Structure 1
Amino acid sequence: MTHAIVDKRTDRLRSAAAGLSAAVVGVGFAELVAAIVEPAASPFAVIGGGLIDLAPAWAKDTAIALFGTGDKIALLTGIAVVLVVVAAAAGLLELRRSGIGATILGGLGALAVVAAMIRPGAGPFAWLPGLVAGVVAVIAVRLLIRRLRPIAGLAPDGVDRRRFLIWTAGTAAVGVVSLIVGNIARGATRSIDVVRSALQLPKATRTAPAVPAEAELDIPGLAPVVTSNIDFYRIDTALIVPRIDPADWSLRIHGMVDREVVISWDELLALPMDEADVTLACVSNEVGGSLIGNARWLGHPIRDLLARAGVSADADMVLSTSSDGFTASTPLEALTDDRDALLAIGMNGEPLPMEHGFPVRMVVPGLYGYVSATKWVTQLEVTRFDKAMGYWTPRGWSDHGPIKLQSRIDVPRGGSVDAGESVIAGMAWQQHVGVEGVEVRVDDGDWQRAELADAISADTWVQWSLPWTAESGRHTIECRAISVEGETQTDQPAAPAPNGAQGWHRIEVSVG
């Protein structure tokens, strides 16, 4: 009897492996087809994108709080884990009763088809990868389980255990190879990386002043005043980074305008270009968080393009749309006043990186990115807040998103410091307003005025520091910023949703 129990358990493992192998080969073929006909229709991408679209504000905050800029990897890993569990269960059920497991795997393929078809900008073959995934997985699981039945004593003898193992492993191997070939094919279709690397940015018509030497305090552990492109945070909804050939890019300006305007890449490059140092921040940035960065951007003023279109006096919002369907609702005033709101093509002296919006994105000082910093932008619709909403507004976020006055402590870092002469240092910001000062206190003592570095501009963050004689024991350090308008950073805590986190940044330090 013990031997029979062991055989049943082994048969269950074999059937689960069959279901998993069938799913792997289905996904592999689907990714290969997607790479050839429509990369954005990858089953992982469309299902993951759908989950992002359905996620409420609290889920987005939780994901970013737990995984930071690795939230997309975490999501894809989670999808893969669920797929493994469901595929294994499908194999088990298919062994018990023919057709059940196949129906489950076919249903996953159908889900991928639907998810692909309802994605914004879905192409004519968006349905094909999901269909391939479902059909291939169904065929594979039916064939594998049919070969397992004789081994499990559920059908006349026909296939030995070793041959079944070869069939199962071979099926999975075909899926893995297809997945690899698909990734290679995706990169080989037309290398936008080559196009980007060969691109020569035009000279700025209005250059930004040099970054003051006194803007950088050169304190180890303190964030640099200019963030490198590779270190710049990335938060968006794109699981697959759009790869847009500039030759195929265009921007359409429409809606409540006197005349519709469409400009091509070549036309954009021929327009006057401005340089501007602007700090961007994500609304999901927690107090003291790192979802913020500063760069020198190159682009054409958005207000000039809107003036060309002729904006209606009744309009109060511009709905920008990305190539992947993301939308942002930007107050019209922020795009038409004197701030450096740019249709940007360059970042820190080079073309925009792919993950930061190549070839064209929006940069708007003073607003959180979810209402202003649309990457891979292709449309600007002039409209009203009571007529349209951006992507995050119906998901519980506010529709305007002005940057809040904030500061954070970067040094000491790691929670411990040696006793003696030390330094407390950090960053402060309120873009398009500016920071006038920062105050620090230790162990609920008196507030002390920190030394403020030279700000690049009111649109950038600024470094600050305060000498500190660190005495042995545990200490609490807090900071607060003061804006040029005289506002003092509030101590009242608030979560990122719906319009940005607030409160004083506080750290605990052990001095030895």
Structure 2
Amino acid sequence: MESNGRAPAWAAALIGLVAGAVAVGVSLPVAALVKASAFPVVAVGDAAVDLAPAWLKEWAIRAFGENDKTVLLVGVLAVLAAVAAATGALAVRDLRYGLACLAAFGAVGLLAVLTRPGAGPGDALPTLLGVAAGMSALSRLLRRARLGPPPLPAARGGARGEAGTAPEPGTAPGTGAGPEAAERHGVPGPAVMRAGEDLRSFDRRGLLTAALGGVAVAGIGGAAGRLLSGGAEADAARSGVVLPRPAVPARPVPAGSDLRISGLSPFFTPNRDFYRVDTALLVPRVDPRDWTLAITGMVDRPAELTFADLMGRPLVEADVTLCCVSNEVGGPYIGNARWLGVRLADVLREAGVHAGADMLLSTSTDGWTCGTPADVVLDGREALLAVAMNGETLPADHGFPARLVVPGLYGYVSATKWVTEIKVTRFDRDEAYWTPRGWSAKGPVKTQSRIDLPRPGAVLPPGRTVIAGVAWAQHRGVDAVEVRVDGGPWRRARLAEAPTADTWRQWVLDDWDAAAGEHTIEVRATDATGRTQTAERAPVAPDGATGLHAVTVRVA
């Protein structure tokens, strides 16, 4: 199986990369037919997310923001490319080495796939077929480049090198034939043979032709995977959803809820600007016609709801601010929207929640789980199975066909997107995704405030300057916001109106007389229970960051 080792480095890398692309391209449409989570590339990425320590995840969110999953996916593909190139380098030395490398990497993908939530034996098929296709491509590429074993020679008439005749150049003594016979007798033949022809020399054209064929196979596989995945159908079905009028409209937003100051976060966050933090490496594309929500666990009447069932129920509008527990003090992972959906409390009461149940373990279509305190959902607040956001059918990024929205709790314990099951259970019996990773089982939102204007590091002209931002204490409400400059006295800011205690409030201090020099501006909020935001700094783990947001500016 050994080659002559005459392949240039670029050719070895190309052989490995094309073989790897074929493996991925074949596994993708098979995974689309079996199950999206059976695609080994995504499974490896999801496993990396699950196994990463909390500090690494926090660092990734701080460093890359909502692009953290894109960076991870690019990283996985980069590692795949490096391994594929190394596989090609090994294969031109000995095909067996390359095949072993592909098998080893396939084993990693297989392990990642089979350890995903809900995985079954059939989920192994995309990886197995992909690896088999990659091995076949690797062998073919080597043959086309003339780097594989030489073909057996055709029989020739007339003996050469018999007794009394001179052997042909390159013939081993006593073999009675040319180089081919010498090799058959265990004596290596020369690389250059008859009339200078090298049967094992590198064939650039053959390799490039075969590589184009491999790329075509990979491309066709990728396109087929996209078509078979149903993503386009799911997007089309989402576009066709007609939202009914709410049976219970939201309260009218008071005229003074949005101060309309340039650079200040608007009262309603546009869908395109709403933060996204989740563990899904690729956004699930769920066809609402195939979607169901199971209500299971400690209930008298387990139920299964379809999307049509949800849309046929009385729908409620509610203005609710959502916040991620990963939000640093003054961070961007918070937004306010008008949600439309079914009251979760009504669904649970119909199912008949058992006495003693204190947790709702909700599961996403990608296997992520969330533990929500049951008493919070049942205490009268507008906890929704939401189907729309700001007057638009839920975007896929934000949970279409349905997601949970529970005011007053951080998203990791309240805001399951692409929800498919709600299990009524107990905290002492079940754990959600983040709890064994060091996060608190319950996550009430802490009273916080943020300065939007002026921006950190801004250079301002002397004179009267506007300081403005937002403050939040969901389901308690914000009663006051105070600002101070350079450690001076706290001054009361003017608050915008808020329709309910479940949304943030804008605030402004528009009479600061800015003098030349560098200044530090701080803000703090007081909620409706009388509790003022603490100045003590704490990290986001295990249950949300604390401290005062401060910005430093220069006046010149």
What TM-score bracket applies, with the shorter chain setting the length?
over 0.9
Instruction: Rate the CA distance shift 1:161–1:470 in 2: closer, same or farther, 3 A.
Output: farther
Counterpart contact for 2:359–2:373, Cα < 8 Å:
yes
User: Is residue 327 of structure 2 the alignment partner of residue 292 of structure 1?
Assistant: no
Aligned residue among 361, 369, 391 for 1:327:
369
User: Is residue 489 of structure 2 the alignment partner of residue 491 of structure 1?
Assistant: no
Instruction: Rate the CA distance shift 1:124–1:202 in 2: closer, same or farther, 3 A.
Output: farther
**Per-residue deviation, 1:142:** 3.0
**Per-residue deviation, 1:265:** 2.3
> What's the counterpart of residue 511 of structure 1?
555
Aligned residue among 501, 515, 531 for 1:471:
515
Aligned residue among 39, 42, 49 for 1:42:
39
Query: Structure 1: any 5+ residue segments left out of the alignment?
Result: 1-6
Correspondences of 1:404-483 after superposition (within 5 Å): 404-413=446-455, 415-419=457-461, 420-467=463-510, 468-483=512-527
**Per-residue deviation, 1:454:** 0.7
Instruction: Rate the CA distance shift 1:408–1:29 in 2: closer, same or farther, 3 A.
Output: same
Counterpart contact for 1:455–1:462, Cα < 8 Å:
yes
Secondary structure at the aligned position of 1:191 is classed as helix
Aligned residue among 131, 135, 141 for 2:132:
135
Counterpart contact for 2:36–2:229, Cα < 8 Å:
no
**Per-residue deviation, 1:190:** 5.8
> What's the counterpart of residue 16 of structure 2?
19
Correspondences of 1:52-91 after superposition (within 5 Å): 52-91=49-88
Counterpart contact for 1:437–1:483, Cα < 8 Å:
yes
For 2:278 and 2:6, the matched residues in 1 are separated by 45
For 2:397 and 2:534, the matched residues in 1 are separated by 34
- More deviation in 379-388 or 186-195? 186-195
Amino acid at match of 1:458: A
**Per-residue deviation, 1:288:** 1.0
For 2:297 and 2:407, the matched residues in 1 are separated by 24
Instruction: Rate the CA distance shift 1:162–1:97 in 2: closer, same or farther, 3 A.
Output: closer
Correspondences of 1:239-254 after superposition (within 5 Å): 239-254=281-296
Aligned residue among 369, 374, 377 for 2:419:
377
Amino acid at match of 2:451: I
For 1:32 and 1:385, the matched residues in 2 are separated by 40
Counterpart contact for 1:318–1:380, Cα < 8 Å:
yes
Counterpart contact for 1:322–1:378, Cα < 8 Å:
yes
**Per-residue deviation, 1:432:** 0.8
Counterpart contact for 2:26–2:218, Cα < 8 Å:
no
Instruction: Rate the CA distance shift 1:492–1:268 in 2: closer, same or farther, 3 A.
Output: same
Amino acid at match of 1:485: T
Aligned residue among 134, 138, 147 for 1:149:
147
Counterpart contact for 1:456–1:462, Cα < 8 Å:
no
Instruction: Rate the CA distance shift 1:150–1:56 in 2: closer, same or farther, 3 A.
Output: closer
For 1:148 and 1:24, the matched residues in 2 are separated by 21
For 1:318 and 1:284, the matched residues in 2 are separated by 22
**Per-residue deviation, 1:125:** 4.2
Counterpart contact for 2:455–2:551, Cα < 8 Å:
no
User: Is residue 142 of structure 2 the alignment partner of residue 99 of structure 1?
Assistant: no
- More deviation in 181-190 or 436-445? 181-190
The size of the alignment, in residue pairs, is 506
Q: Percent identity of the aligned residues?
A: 50
For 1:188 and 1:475, the matched residues in 2 are separated by 55
Amino acid at match of 1:342: L
For 2:368 and 2:191, the matched residues in 1 are separated by 52
Counterpart contact for 1:30–1:133, Cα < 8 Å:
yes
Counterpart contact for 1:371–1:401, Cα < 8 Å:
yes
For 1:480 and 1:408, the matched residues in 2 are separated by 8
For 1:180 and 1:136, the matched residues in 2 are separated by 14
State the TM-score, normalizing by the size of structure 1. Answer: 0.93
**Per-residue deviation, 1:298:** 0.9
**Per-residue deviation, 1:223:** 0.9
> What's the counterpart of residue 360 of structure 1?
402
Secondary structure at the aligned position of 2:286 is classed as coil
**Per-residue deviation, 1:150:** 7.2
Correspondences of 1:224-235 after superposition (within 5 Å): 224-235=266-277
Counterpart contact for 1:113–1:130, Cα < 8 Å:
yes
Aligned residue among 333, 343, 350 for 1:308:
350
> What's the counterpart of residue 3 of structure 1?
none
Counterpart contact for 1:27–1:175, Cα < 8 Å:
no
**Per-residue deviation, 1:225:** 0.9
Secondary structure at the aligned position of 1:127 is classed as helix
- More deviation in 202-211 or 176-185? 176-185
Counterpart contact for 1:38–1:123, Cα < 8 Å:
no
- Ranges of 4+ aligned residues in structure 1 off by more than 6 Å: 7-10, 153-156
**Per-residue deviation, 1:116:** 2.2
Secondary structure at the aligned position of 2:72 is classed as helix
> What's the counterpart of residue 165 of structure 2?
none
State the TM-score, normalizing by the size of structure 2. Answer: 0.86
Q: Deviations over 1:7-62 (max 9, x none)?
A: 98972332122212211222122223333443332222211111112122212211
Instruction: Rate the CA distance shift 1:218–1:331 in 2: closer, same or farther, 3 A.
Output: same
Secondary structure at the aligned position of 2:554 is classed as strand
For 1:38 and 1:246, the matched residues in 2 are separated by 17
**Per-residue deviation, 1:308:** 1.2
- More deviation in 451-460 or 98-107? 98-107
User: Is residue 257 of structure 2 the alignment partner of residue 222 of structure 1?
Assistant: no
Secondary structure at the aligned position of 2:509 is classed as strand
- More deviation in 30-39 or 261-270? 30-39
Amino acid at match of 2:373: P
Q: Deviations over 1:78-132 (max 9, x none)?
A: 1011112211222222233331222122222232233223322447742222122
- More deviation in 318-327 or 25-34? 25-34
- More deviation in 164-173 or 84-93? 164-173
